[in-house]
A and B are shown apart, each in its own frame.
Chain A
Amino acid sequence: MEEPGIIVVPRKRRAAELVLLLLALTVGIGAWAITGLNRENQLPENFFVVAGGWVVLAAICHIVVRWRIPYADPVLLPCVFLLNGLGLAMIARLDLNDKATDAPGQLLWTVLGIVLFIVAIFVLRGDHRPLQRFPFLLGLAGLILLLMPLLPVIGVENYGSRIWIRFGPFSFQPAEAAKIVLATAFASYLVERREVLALAGWRVLGLDLPRARDLGPILLMWAASMLVLVYQRDLGTSLLFFGMFVMMLYVSTERPGWAVLGTILFAGGAVAAWLLFSHVQVRVNAWLDPFADPDASYQIIQGQYGMAWGGLLGRGLGLGRPQLTPVVKSDFITAAIGEELGITGLMAVIMVYALIVSRGLRIALTGKDPFGKLLAAGLSFTLALQVFAIIGGVTRLLPLTGLTTPFLSQGGSSLVCNWILIALLLVISHQFRKPIARAVEVDQDAESTQLIALSERGGRPPRTPDATASERGGRPPRTPDATASERGGGTQ
């Protein structure tokens, strides 16, 4: 259908990003200003300096993106600035009540996160594919990071969960870093092995289950997740990593059998852990009926009271009493948002996360390179799982977990790692949308595109219509086409 010689050039949409970014900046800065006006009838100290700095940071990010990865997705960065700004404003607001000064520290971590975001963009030079080279090294590093809190001395238990490590004054949630490292490792490993893993074993109830000899990796990840569940006492982290792995396994092999098997394994393990371990039962009981033991469930009860008091539209920034909820700056920051901005504000925040996830999954859909697709899908889905687990825990949809709320909650490790995650997604989207690397193919999911007729241009020859047709065709082929050559061609 397409003629050779026609190249699709997606719009860069940088102006749209700039407009959205300006809107996003007003959220964080506005929230901070309103807090000051509500509490002291004046703008916070150093308001114009800090707000100006925040605008400058956003401008730098925008310029870097415009310069190095101009075809990157235009929605992600504004969403992240919105959440991060709101998180900073919330922490500054909570500082007013506990007489702490955590907001400047969080701002420093944000600056570090943005620096690493920029470094990642420069280092990758607009191309994520070099990350594909070290699956086993990254996998090992990721597993070590994940299980590090179980080590003596450096592993620290906080609020019943052992998901922290501490070096001197610095504490760190290594699971946040493990999230990115493991997603990269899984993506490269699974892209290598997907043809083998996709081979059908037994067929049960219309589902092709994998062969027994291929079960090694999933069992290893399952064991790691169960270790996390039982010894780190954290359902959220456990769910996050196992869910990420199973989802990526399913996406790479296109075998629903893997997803079903993984879900059964995780559910079975979780139920067994609930039956066997009292600390898991404590968490589950606090979820089902917090009032049965108000002392043990104090945090969740106070969070619920806060949100109930906030009602539909909230008490207003600075006018609620979120300080009554313990650890409100990190785990329960969404409860504070629910209290002061109302359930409406909380739902808006959830929608912003949904927007980030949908853009991430959209990037995965539009790309051609399987590694990039898998990585983008894996990172986005993991972010969705994380938001689901922590906000679900705070709102009593799920048992409470110790996960951080990305970009909102206080904590440097989470913030920095999530900025790097966004850098990865932006780089992948730039790689997928920039015109040179991909000719002809117009994806149905792509945004409005311009068709520009160009004369023959250097680089790769356009793909043959045959390959496109088979990729589009109803049932995907068991061994995906053209991927090996594309991969080979792209990175050289």
Chain B
Amino acid sequence: MNRPIRRTSIVALIMFGLLLVNCTWFMVFRENQLDARSDNRRMRDEEFGQNRGAILVGNTPVAITEPTDDRFRYQRSYPQASLYAPITGWYAFDYGTSGLELTFNSQLAGTDDSLLVRRILDIVTNRMPTGATVQTTINAKAQETAYEAIGDRKGAVVAMDAKTGAVLALVSTPSYDPNKLASHDIGADGTASKAWRQLNDDPDRPLANRAAREIYPPGSTFKLVTAAAALENGSDPKQLWDSPEKLRLPGTETDLPNESPCGGAKITLEQALKVSCNTAFANVGLSLGADKLRTQAEKFGFGSRQLLDLNGAISRFPDNPNASQVALSAIGQFDVAASPLQMAMVTAGIANDGVVMKPYLVSGIRGTDLSLVSQTRPEKLSEAMTPEHARTLQGWMQTVVNSGTGVNGKIDGVEVGGKTGTANTTPDKPPYAWYTSYARSGDRTIAVTVFIEEADIDRNDISGGRLAAPIAKSVLESLL
């Protein structure tokens, strides 16, 4: 009877072996998938109570984690609350995360693969594992200046270093207090739920990131792209363009008017840009065609997602416009839509002699001991213009500021170029006011775009110049 008992023992051995192999398999292959699932309450609760890394602006943390006595052990807090909310985003128990808290979650939580060595060291040295610190490119002074300058108005300000693509200021108003969303008072009537409901019911949509994640008709600021397309496609800077008071749109009964006199029946592009002449640019658009306009727009970054650090929006140029729509698109109306960040990229590209840099918001990741784990290198997105054409366009933008619609953005003793814009939405809503500009001082070149969603004034081209240009000017001054 012993032989079958021995064989039975082997069967039992195999069964126990299978159990142990399965346990090992579970550890090696299943554990991470299970941990990553969103309905895993254990992980969610633990992550929420984690000693998350800080988000830094300069040397100042704008998102920190503090020990608490409640069950989560650590409380996320945002010392400057609404000022940096569009950048940090929020970190809530029931309402997920957004902003850098979302895109850099694995680094902040300390679970990213790039932090593996540190994590092992933490375990070995019995140190409480903490997340990495995220260093932003934001300039605190510019951010504060922009936030104060835009005040109670709905809108956005984006400033970036034209030579690197580093975002120096990113303001979206109205903002919100992420501290309330991160509250540990998480019941149905807790602080977090109340704040969430209130923010979502607010018609001004404070949670929307108007600077990078929303797109709007760029209006006359898009004339920069049209002008660049004309130059790049061989148009002589001295060429004269028809600039009638009204342009009958091809195939329609509609006339396109100018907001103000263009200064002649035939004018140069420089003049057209200076006074923001609609009919001249519509004619430029008609003569170039939709494809050349779109190609130029895409070189500046339209049609693809920009600023992945915040998962920014994709700005768009319409796909198959007819002639009248091309004419409207050339002046930034019809279906053209861009984020303020995108218009800052256009301006920065022109100011950087045609080289468009990829925008970025995070300059580096630092471990708990503040040593650098990774660093962002500036990257070129495209060469949108030849340096020669770019310099020509820079000169025209300076004319706009020195003697055109953008005179409010002028800074004494500094090279400043800009372009105003007003975009009409629907007749019952006030227009959007835009102003985008660059300033050069020494070896620094800064681009700033200001966007005001509700400009409570007449629809004329000066609104961008009057409302938005002073904000841009103060931001530029804070940076130079």
Measured CB to CB, the residues of A under 8 A from B are: 247, 250-252, 254, 256, 291, 294, 304-309, 311-312, 320-321, 324, 343, 346-347, 350-351, 353-354, 357-358, 361, 364-365, 370, 373-374, 377, 380-381, 384-385, 387-388, 391-392, 395-397, 476, 480
C-alpha spacing A250/B35, complex, angstroms: 45
Q: Which residues of A contact B37 (CB under 8 A)?
A: 291, 305
Mask, B35-49, CB within 8 Å of A = 1, is: 101011111011000
Q: Which residues of A contact B30 (CB under 8 A)?
A: 304, 308
CB-contacts of B1-39 with A (<8 A): 1-6, 8-9, 11-13, 15-16, 18-20, 22-24, 26-27, 30-31, 34-35, 37, 39
CB-contacts of B34-76 with A (<8 A): 34-35, 37, 39-43, 45-46
A304-B34, A350-B23 known; 4 new pairs, CB 8 Å cut-off, are A247-B8, A321-B45, A361-B5, A392-B22
- Distance in angstroms from A97 CB to nearest chain B CB is 13
Q: Do residues A397 and B18 form an inter-chain contact, with CB atoms below 8 A?
A: yes
Q: Which residues of B contact A396 (CB under 8 A)?
A: 22, 26
Q: Do residues B8 and A251 form an inter-chain contact, with CB atoms below 8 A?
A: yes
Q: Which residues of A contact B3 (CB under 8 A)?
A: 254, 476
Q: Do residues A311 and B1 form an inter-chain contact, with CB atoms below 8 A?
A: no
Q: Do residues A350 and B1 form an inter-chain contact, with CB atoms below 8 A?
A: no
- Distance in angstroms from A292 CB to nearest chain B CB is 13
C-alpha spacing A384/B8, complex, angstroms: 11
Q: Which residues of B contact A320 (CB under 8 A)?
A: 42
C-alpha spacing A309/B2, complex, angstroms: 44
C-alpha spacing A360/B22, complex, angstroms: 24
Q: Which residues of B contact A377 (CB under 8 A)?
A: 5, 8
- Distance in angstroms from B122 CB to nearest chain A CB is 15
* A308: contacting residue among B2, B9, B34, B45, CB under 8 A: B34
- Greatest chain A CB density within 10 A among B11, B16, B37 is at B16
Q: Do residues B8 and A343 form an inter-chain contact, with CB atoms below 8 A?
A: no
How many interface contacts (CB-CB < 8 Å) are there between A and B?
A: 115
* A250: contacting residue among B8, B23, B40, B41, CB under 8 A: B8
- Distance in angstroms from B205 CB to nearest chain A CB is 33
Q: Do residues B1 and A251 form an inter-chain contact, with CB atoms below 8 A?
A: yes
Nearest-CB residue, chain A, relative to B43: A309
Q: Which residues of A contact B42 (CB under 8 A)?
A: 305-306, 309, 320-321, 324
C-alpha spacing A357/B8, complex, angstroms: 11
- Distance in angstroms from B259 CB to nearest chain A CB is 58
- Distance in angstroms from A383 CB to nearest chain B CB is 9
Q: Do residues A388 and B5 form an inter-chain contact, with CB atoms below 8 A?
A: no
Given contacts A311-B27, A361-B12, A395-B26, contact A305 B20 (CB under 8 A): no
Prevailing SS type, chain A contact patch? helix
* B20: contacting residue among A247, A308, A347, A381, CB under 8 A: A347
- Distance in angstroms from B80 CB to nearest chain A CB is 35
- Distance in angstroms from A128 CB to nearest chain B CB is 16
Given contacts A254-B1, A309-B46, A373-B1, contact A388 B8 (CB under 8 A): no
The 8 closest A-B pairs by CB, nearest first: A308-B34, A388-B15, A384-B12, A251-B4, A397-B22, A354-B16, A309-B42, A308-B31
C-alpha spacing A306/B34, complex, angstroms: 9
Q: Do residues B23 and A392 form an inter-chain contact, with CB atoms below 8 A?
A: no
Q: Do residues B43 and A254 form an inter-chain contact, with CB atoms below 8 A?
A: no
C-alpha spacing A305/B41, complex, angstroms: 8
- Distance in angstroms from B441 CB to nearest chain A CB is 55
Q: Do residues B35 and A353 form an inter-chain contact, with CB atoms below 8 A?
A: no
Q: Do residues B23 and A305 form an inter-chain contact, with CB atoms below 8 A?
A: no
Instruction: Pull 6 A–B residue pairs with CB atoms less than 8 Å apart, ordered by A.
Output: A250-B8, A304-B26, A308-B40, A351-B16, A361-B9, A365-B9
Q: Do residues B5 and A346 form an inter-chain contact, with CB atoms below 8 A?
A: no
C-alpha spacing A480/B37, complex, angstroms: 59
Given contacts A357-B16, A392-B22, contact A343 B27 (CB under 8 A): yes
C-alpha spacing A395/B23, complex, angstroms: 7
Q: Do residues A370 and B8 form an inter-chain contact, with CB atoms below 8 A?
A: no
Q: Which residues of B contact A364 (CB under 8 A)?
A: 5
Given contacts A350-B23, A391-B19, A476-B3, contact A311 B8 (CB under 8 A): no
Given contacts A304-B30, A305-B41, A358-B9, contact A374 B1 (CB under 8 A): yes
Q: Do residues B40 and A347 form an inter-chain contact, with CB atoms below 8 A?
A: no
Q: Which residues of A contact B6 (CB under 8 A)?
A: 365
Q: Which residues of A contact B1 (CB under 8 A)?
A: 251-252, 254, 370, 373-374, 476, 480
- Greatest chain A CB density within 10 A among B4, B9, B37 is at B4
C-alpha spacing A325/B43, complex, angstroms: 14
Q: Do residues B16 and A353 form an inter-chain contact, with CB atoms below 8 A?
A: yes
- Distance in angstroms from A178 CB to nearest chain B CB is 21
* A397: contacting residue among B2, B19, B27, B43, CB under 8 A: B19
CB-contacts of B414-443 with A (<8 A): none
C-alpha spacing A320/B23, complex, angstroms: 19
